[in-house]
Structure 1
Amino acid sequence: MAQELSRLILHSYEGSYLDNPEFTATEPLSTAAEPETSEHDVDPTSTLTKTHSTLPEDPATDLTRNKTRTFHGQGHAVFNSGHSYTGEFHQGFMHGKGTFVWADGQRYEGDFENNRISGTGVYTWNGGSKYIGKVENGLRNGRGTFDCCVTKSQYEGDWKEGKLSGFGRLVYNQDNSFYEGTWLSGQKHGTGTMHYESGNVYVGEWSRNVKHGQGRMVWNNRGEEYTGHWERGVPHGYGVYTWKLSHTKNHQLPMQNKYEGEWMNGKRHGHGVFMYASGARYEGEWKDNLKHGKGSCVFENGRSFIGEFCNDRPVLEAPKFQNEYPFIFDLKGMLPANADAAMLEEAIKSINTVILRHTDDLRYIYSYYCQLGVEPGTNEDNHAITRIHLWKFFDECGLKEKGSSYVDLDRAYVEHLKDDPLFDHIYKNPHDVSHHFIFRDFLDVILRVSHLLYNNKENSNQTALLEHGPAASFSYMIKTDILSALAKKRADKMEDTEPAVVPFQKTLLFEVETIFSDRVYQLYTSLTKRFARRTVTVRMLLHILNDANLITTLSGGSLTITDFIQIVETHIPGVTGDLGSYNLEFELVPYELFTTTYDCLYHKSLHLLHERAYEEAVARTRQEAHLSATQEMELLASEAAAAAAATAAAALAAAELVDGDAGVAPGVLTSQINILTPAAADHVDAPSANQKGKKKNGKEATPAKDNTAPAGTGNAAPAPVKDSAAPKTTLEAGKDKNEKDTRQLSLASGAVSATAAPVDYATSLNNLRKEKESELRLQRKLTCIEEFEDAEGPTADDIRESVHHLFEKFIQMKP
């Protein structure tokens, strides 16, 4: 789209004008350029690249038009070319909201700015294609959505100068074929994900519409995957290629074919390692997908060959495969130093005899741990057990109770690999969680661990008359530890005739392990690298938890150091020594780091949730008790006020007797009660006028003398005042009446003080309140404890959320 609308000759105009005799139009009316044909505006195999162009028009203008009147406000303009505009004008320019329709029916509806299409609007083409979004100078610029009716494709994202630029999602068709990522000038460029119609997926870097940089391609239609570096659309550089085996086919291959190494122009070229599905392994040089150069090959039965390869074959004759024994083991360190070839041959023969005797059980156990943690129906990279599975196997066999830790068992297996050209990498990193074990390796681990635990022990030497040395220890461990654990598993499986409810904690452990274990293992690796050691100690884990503010030093806190030691003790017996001493230098393998951390955070989560539940119960009980106390205190206040009012009434009655047993007008008594206890006036009935008076100092009170005669009872008229002075005015009479009332109140107070202490309403009420609050506090505490004990406890969702939150805090710690 041109930056400025082409100048068109106006044919007619209907609408509003701005009358301005001094204004002369210096710019002719212009209109929007026509978009070019939209039927091919989207190329579904690449990007949206084509833009609109300006419709050529006669540049002639009519300067005599509108010299005294300017288009302003709402209007409708028709041009000689057949285009039209309806919308807002501002001083002769299309400005504001409007609709421009080209002669062929295509249209734009949206914002105009000084004869330019700028702002937000909608382009609509004749075929039904539509663009909705930001526009600048007639070009799609900013955020917008384009729907192409021809290819049924849709793009939603960023635009720049009419081309896809920035982040956006292009759906090519309705078969879930789409690209989501960054664009540059209408091409995939940067980082993005491409879902192909075949179901294949690529996630990674792009350059000018081709895969370039780091990326991962999954060919779901053929079970292959490549992760690594790409160049011009093919693997180039370092990468890992895996050929997955179908789980639907019945096979016993323990692994997948996998190559990890260097590539050139889509072929294996340079140094690389190929892991065969059978368990065999080649490490060496490659050329054009073939083994070529120096290399070493280890067969699945344990035999090895080191030498030159040319065009995928050994240059020298490789050792012939002998099938006397299915498995070959390196017994270095397990036989006496003076052992000869015959002794070695006899030892290997005995070990294979033990394997043959228990082969069904051993393969069943291996298969069980291979599938541990694998969801049914999912495709995994291999069927071989990992080191994590191996540690779980050690745990279920109870090997730590034999006095050796996981660290000791791992070192016992790799000790003979020192300075081995093929397996030196395993020796240098004995706790690598990515290490896999084929069935032969699994047997080798059992053999080495059994030699560590049972070598030269009487019980192992008595397993069979014909077994001795490594075979005797091997046989004893299988019978004592492995088969007993297997029997327990099978018994549990037979008892579960119906689907059992999996304990929540076990389910949560599996869930947390799936989400967080890899990052915990990365943390373990970071710690070992930082401190230049192979393992992490209990002390290091304690420091990490403390740095993450997960350890509390307060007694009774959610996770104290004592709690931590007790949890570690369940994983590593012997951490607690005599006299309360702790040995924090015990070494942990990665799996122990994860499980110990999980138990600590699970413990802390339960404690925090119980604290929160108790606080909520306290707050709820306190609120209810406060409402109850408020109501009761109001009642006590009313009762206290009523008692004070009754006392005052009695005093007034005594005053009446002092004045000569004369009656008091009901109004006077009520006013005095109101003065003393205004809040209790509605709760007290006025005493009778002839109520008896009280004694003063043991004698009857004598009436006080006054010049004013007491009022008579009933409706009797008052006696005339005996005074020689002139009659008093009404004001003076009222004053005398108030003085009399005051004297009566004073006499009443005197009468009360003669028999009891003066009534202090505030003090009395305060004492009652203190007594009641003390009772309420005790009752509130008891009620809160009862309510908390009767509660169902934290829900599974609460525990899950809390554990996940604490794990996030833990793994974010930098070593």
Structure 2
Amino acid sequence: MASKGRSKEKKGSKKEKVVEEPPPPPPDDKKEQEAEDYGDDKLMDEQSAEDQEPTKQPTPPPEPDEPSLAHLIVEHYEGEMVRGLYEGEGVAYFCGGHFYKGQFYKGMMHGRGTYTWSDGVVYEGDFTNNEITGKGLYHWPDSSTYEGEVLNGKRHGHGTFRCMASPASYTGQWKMGQRHGTGIIRYDTDGLSFYEGDWMSNKRHGYGVRRYRSGNVYEGEWANNNRHGQGIMRWVDLNQTYNGQWEKGVQNGHGDHTWYIRRLPGSQYPMRNQYIGDFLYGRRHGYGVILYANGSKYEGDWLDDKKSGRGIFTFKNGRIFEGIFVEDRMADYPEFVMDGTVTPDISEIRTRTPDPAGPNAGNLTSRSDDSHNTLGPSLTLDIDHLLNRCTDSEKEDELQQVMFVVLRHVTVLKKTYNFYSSLGHDASPDNTFIMTKLQFWRMLKDCRFHFLDTTLAEIDRILAVDKGATEIHSPLDKLLMREYLNHLITLSYHLYLEDCQESEQSTIAWCFDHAIRENIIPYGCDVQGNFLYEPTRAINALGYMDKCWQVYKSICTPSKFPPHDHTLKMRDFLFMLKDYRLINERLTSRRILEVLSADDPAAYDSETCNLELEMTFLDFFEALIGCAMIFVTEEVVKDPNTPRPSTVASHTQTTFSTTSRATTSRGA
């Protein structure tokens, strides 16, 4: 006699913990996701009261189990028979009030048919040797349905379950009656709340995207129904984003947390605070860097969400304090407040370089009215390494001339910074972004700085100041506006020093002005390359940035020369493609050289090639995309042996790579 059971799956859910950042989110906002998870999971719950978990814990969305066909005893049969066996079309009535109408073969239900249980459950579909196997449709008494593949009466393969008691539904892969594989569960009919990704034994496990009714979204790794591993969470209502490691639903490990504040009228600062560093159970703990909206910066130790231990605080005017912090305050100045939104009076605080007053001013008390910087606090220059090449009598005049160049071209400089820092990003509340090294590289290539007998890797070494060998070429380094200016001044000096006439009174200023006129003004903001110039390409490409970054680092080798940084040569890139068996009759060595030379003519001129040129990650990423456009043909896409991506991207994304829209186009 057929029997029908109820699922007793337990599906836990963790509260979404918002990292408490200044300003902290309201307590009610912190609890929203917990309530939302609870409400969504409860939509599909049909368990009896005695099976429910305590109300403080969210309950799972169960589905009715499939009835079995065990112990079939036929009481009556109507239909065709051959040699005493049921054959062809017929109707069989079983003990217990169940009956089957459909095809028979050699006395067994085989083919298409409909089986109806006495409690109202109905199955329509394929039968194989008295087993429900193939494709079919289940109907439960409450009007819930399952349509898809079945094996031995269990949902197995691909199918869709719809719960009529609520708007919830699941479409995806099943394994012996449980959600297992890739699938999407929708908690409403308008698509505002859903989870799409990997499942294991009815639990979110693997990689997936969870969108909540509030608009908040988590995308990343899951384990046992919890956010666990690498992932990014966007709190739309709180204007915050966290991208990093999670453990049991809480931020734990290394991460990047960004939160926005309302932009002040006339402000030139990107009004966002950003913390990059270690977290412990949802709080800043360990080593980390925080970039304040007004341009200030703290780098050092944290304890329980507060600055604690040794650290370096850089004020927005460029002055630096280095020392011990206790309870979020400078130990030597406990009454001094640093909230990142205003510039406090630092006249009584002993700071160190950069200070244009002189090389020995770092140990003196510095006052803002003594500063020779006329550019404003956001554009403070730090070019002591260049000024030290001048005589003491020339330093002040050199610095003054460089400031005049900045003021003369400040509109162009700000335009290029804002333009390139926005590439690959959604529009922000203030339309301002902090430039990354990847974007800076793109700007240098567009402005043809690499045409001057140098590579981006060599430029990185020129600009590397107090950086370790492993940090020189990171594409995710952040550049504030003043750091961007310092880099351009330093680079132009190294590239154009030999062209400077001896009659020029200010060598540094002449080189900088020459670079602006010859490189930035004529070529800036005309995005080249294979992906950043077009929004859709940028969206698709940046989704794979992190995996490509891991591949890039794995094949880089340390340089034989100081600072012994890890680099990749074009020859190594070709060998990598060969090892991965990507070189074929379409993607030939010549076509690869053409891809490499599209952005760097020094690589190949149709007759000779230079495979000893070094590649930064941008060069590597652009070349990969260019080769993929040749390698992936329509035949490759249609080939059943070609690996298929999941319904959601199976990669972990950085803050930069999780944008859904770029904000520029070629020739903008």
Provide the TM-score with structure 1 as the length reference.
0.53
Decide whether the 8 Å contact of 1:255 with 1:279 is kept in 2.
no
Whole-angstrom CA distance in 1 between matches of 2:134 and 2:591: 62
Whole-angstrom CA distance in 2 between matches of 1:181 and 1:389: 31
**Greater percentage in helix:** 1
| Equivalent position of 1:559 in the other structure | 590
Structure 2 counterpart of 1:322, one-letter code = S
Higher relative contact order (CA 8 A, sep 6+): 2
Whole-angstrom CA distance in 1 between matches of 2:316 and 2:104: 84
Note the C-alpha offset of 1:202. Answer: 2.2
Whole-angstrom CA distance in 2 between matches of 1:302 and 1:593: 34
RMSD: 5.4
Q: Which secondary structure does the structure 2 equivalent of 1:443 belong to?
A: helix
**Corresponding residue to 2:188 among 173, 178, 187:** 173
Note the C-alpha offset of 1:331. Answer: 0.6
Structure 2 residue 462 is the aligned partner of structure 1 residue 412: yes
| Equivalent position of 1:313 in the other structure | 329
Whole-angstrom CA distance in 1 between matches of 2:179 and 2:492: 65
| Equivalent position of 1:329 in the other structure | 382
User: Taking structure 1 as reference, are residues 141 and 306 closer, same or farther at Cα in structure 2, changes over 3 Å only?
Assistant: same
| Equivalent position of 1:108 in the other structure | 123
Cα shift readout 1:726-760 (whole Å, capped 9, x = no counterpart): xxxxxxxxxxxxxxxxxxxxxxxxxxxxxxxxxxx
Note the C-alpha offset of 1:235. Answer: 1.0
Decide whether the 8 Å contact of 1:153 with 1:172 is kept in 2.
yes
Decide whether the 8 Å contact of 2:68 with 2:153 is kept in 1.
no
User: Taking structure 1 as reference, are residues 300 and 523 closer, same or farther at Cα in structure 2, changes over 3 Å only?
Assistant: farther
Structure 2 residue 182 is the aligned partner of structure 1 residue 182: no
Whole-angstrom CA distance in 2 between matches of 1:89 and 1:586: 73
**Corresponding residue to 1:156 among 147, 171, 175:** 171
Whole-angstrom CA distance in 1 between matches of 2:621 and 2:320: 36
Note the C-alpha offset of 1:146. Answer: 1.8
Decide whether the 8 Å contact of 1:120 with 1:133 is kept in 2.
yes
Whole-angstrom CA distance in 2 between matches of 1:91 and 1:431: 72
Whole-angstrom CA distance in 2 between matches of 1:104 and 1:565: 69
| Equivalent position of 2:60 in the other structure | 46
Structure 2 residue 483 is the aligned partner of structure 1 residue 441: yes
Decide whether the 8 Å contact of 1:214 with 1:229 is kept in 2.
yes
Structure 1 counterpart of 2:315, one-letter code = F
Decide whether the 8 Å contact of 1:164 with 1:183 is kept in 2.
yes
Structure 2 residue 163 is the aligned partner of structure 1 residue 129: no
Map 1:189-200 to 2 at 5 A: 189-200=205-216
Whole-angstrom CA distance in 2 between matches of 1:562 and 1:36: 63
Whole-angstrom CA distance in 1 between matches of 2:399 and 2:629: 53
Decide whether the 8 Å contact of 1:290 with 1:312 is kept in 2.
yes
User: Taking structure 1 as reference, are residues 374 and 82 closer, same or farther at Cα in structure 2, changes over 3 Å only?
Assistant: closer
| Equivalent position of 1:145 in the other structure | 160
Structure 1 counterpart of 2:141, one-letter code = N
Whole-angstrom CA distance in 2 between matches of 1:583 and 1:136: 59
Cα shift readout 1:740-788 (whole Å, capped 9, x = no counterpart): xxxxxxxxxxxxxxxxxxxxxxxxxxxxxxxxxxxxxxxxxxxxxxxxx
Note the C-alpha offset of 1:282. Answer: 2.0
Structure 1 counterpart of 2:590, one-letter code = L
Q: Which secondary structure does the structure 1 equivalent of 2:388 belong to?
A: coil
Whole-angstrom CA distance in 2 between matches of 1:528 and 1:202: 32
User: Taking structure 1 as reference, are residues 296 and 268 closer, same or farther at Cα in structure 2, changes over 3 Å only?
Assistant: same
| Equivalent position of 1:739 in the other structure | none
Whole-angstrom CA distance in 2 between matches of 1:510 and 1:241: 27
Structure 2 residue 418 is the aligned partner of structure 1 residue 367: yes
Structure 2 residue 509 is the aligned partner of structure 1 residue 475: yes
Whole-angstrom CA distance in 1 between matches of 2:548 and 2:198: 32
Whole-angstrom CA distance in 2 between matches of 1:261 and 1:132: 47
User: Taking structure 1 as reference, are residues 480 and 260 closer, same or farther at Cα in structure 2, changes over 3 Å only?
Assistant: closer
Structure 1 counterpart of 2:556, one-letter code = T
Decide whether the 8 Å contact of 1:85 with 1:98 is kept in 2.
yes
Decide whether the 8 Å contact of 2:270 with 2:430 is kept in 1.
no
Structure 2 counterpart of 1:477, one-letter code = C
Whole-angstrom CA distance in 2 between matches of 1:186 and 1:107: 24
Structure 2 counterpart of 1:447, one-letter code = I
**Corresponding residue to 2:281 among 265, 268, 291:** 265
User: Taking structure 1 as reference, are residues 456 and 489 closer, same or farther at Cα in structure 2, changes over 3 Å only?
Assistant: closer
Whole-angstrom CA distance in 2 between matches of 1:449 and 1:240: 29
Note the C-alpha offset of 1:151. Answer: 0.6
Q: Which secondary structure does the structure 1 equivalent of 2:489 belong to?
A: helix
Query: Which stretches in structure 2 are left out of the alignment for 5+ residues?
Result: 9-41, 47-58, 76-82, 334-348, 351-365, 637-642, 644-668
Decide whether the 8 Å contact of 1:255 with 1:384 is kept in 2.
no
Structure 2 counterpart of 1:529, one-letter code = T
User: Taking structure 1 as reference, are residues 387 and 215 closer, same or farther at Cα in structure 2, changes over 3 Å only?
Assistant: closer
Cα shift readout 1:201-246 (whole Å, capped 9, x = no counterpart): 3233333322223333233343332232222211122222233578
Note the C-alpha offset of 1:263. Answer: 1.5
Cα shift readout 1:515-540 (whole Å, capped 9, x = no counterpart): 66958776654453266654445665
Whole-angstrom CA distance in 2 between matches of 1:561 and 1:271: 42
Q: Which secondary structure does the structure 2 equivalent of 1:332 belong to?
A: helix
Decide whether the 8 Å contact of 1:397 with 1:482 is kept in 2.
no
Whole-angstrom CA distance in 1 between matches of 2:389 and 2:430: 42
Provide the TM-score with structure 2 as the length reference.
0.63
Cα shift readout 1:101-142 (whole Å, capped 9, x = no counterpart): 455644334566787766654332333222234556655455
Decide whether the 8 Å contact of 1:329 with 1:348 is kept in 2.
no
User: Taking structure 1 as reference, are residues 301 and 46 closer, same or farther at Cα in structure 2, changes over 3 Å only?
Assistant: farther
Q: Which secondary structure does the structure 2 equivalent of 1:559 belong to?
A: helix
Decide whether the 8 Å contact of 2:460 with 2:473 is kept in 1.
yes
User: Taking structure 1 as reference, are residues 235 and 381 closer, same or farther at Cα in structure 2, changes over 3 Å only?
Assistant: farther
Decide whether the 8 Å contact of 1:239 with 1:262 is kept in 2.
yes
Decide whether the 8 Å contact of 1:256 with 1:381 is kept in 2.
no
Decide whether the 8 Å contact of 2:44 with 2:166 is kept in 1.
yes
Query: Which stretches in structure 1 are left out of the alignment for 5+ residues?
Result: 1-5, 7-31, 63-68, 419-423, 463-467, 494-501, 603-799
Whole-angstrom CA distance in 2 between matches of 1:192 and 1:306: 43
Cα shift readout 1:263-284 (whole Å, capped 9, x = no counterpart): 2221111222223333433222
User: Taking structure 1 as reference, are residues 803 and 289 closer, same or farther at Cα in structure 2, changes over 3 Å only?
Assistant: same
Map 1:518-667 to 2 at 5 A: 518=545, 525-529=553-557, 533-534=564-565, 535-537=567-569, 559=590, 570-571=601-602, 587=614, 589=616, 591=618
Decide whether the 8 Å contact of 2:4 with 2:65 is kept in 1.
no
Structure 2 residue 494 is the aligned partner of structure 1 residue 452: yes
Whole-angstrom CA distance in 2 between matches of 1:549 and 1:83: 59
Structure 1 counterpart of 2:219, one-letter code = V
User: Taking structure 1 as reference, are residues 380 and 570 closer, same or farther at Cα in structure 2, changes over 3 Å only?
Assistant: farther
Decide whether the 8 Å contact of 1:95 with 1:113 is kept in 2.
yes
| Equivalent position of 1:231 in the other structure | 247
Larger mean CA deviation between 167-176 and 136-145 belongs to 136-145
Decide whether the 8 Å contact of 1:47 with 1:187 is kept in 2.
no
| Equivalent position of 1:287 in the other structure | 303
Decide whether the 8 Å contact of 1:454 with 1:460 is kept in 2.
no
Whole-angstrom CA distance in 2 between matches of 1:592 and 1:106: 61
Decide whether the 8 Å contact of 2:446 with 2:523 is kept in 1.
no
User: Taking structure 1 as reference, are residues 147 and 248 closer, same or farther at Cα in structure 2, changes over 3 Å only?
Assistant: farther
| Equivalent position of 2:292 in the other structure | 276
Percent sequence identity over matched residues?
A: 30
Map 1:680-699 to 2 at 5 A: none
| Equivalent position of 1:780 in the other structure | none
Decide whether the 8 Å contact of 1:273 with 1:283 is kept in 2.
yes
